[in-house]
Amino acid sequence: MGFLAAHLFLRAQLNYTLLAPHVSFYLLVAGGIAVSLAIIAATLPLLRRITGPETARNE
């Protein structure tokens, strides 16, 4: 949606054409998302140990 809005603005106001990003841009974004999800997934076992019911039990 952002690319579409930028394209429409540039076309209407400045008579510029907007070129699509190269494939490397999409690969970099996908790689960044994959690394972020991997980091989050790596912390889940630690979070389970810290907040498990046997740890949070209050007697």
Tokens found for residue 22: 């190269």
pTM: 0.63
Model confidence at 57: pLDDT above 80? no
pLDDT digits (tens, 9 = 90+) for 2-35: 888 999 999 999 988 888 889 999 999 999 999 9
- Which pLDDT value is given to residue 52? 76
Distance CA 50, CA 1 (A): 40
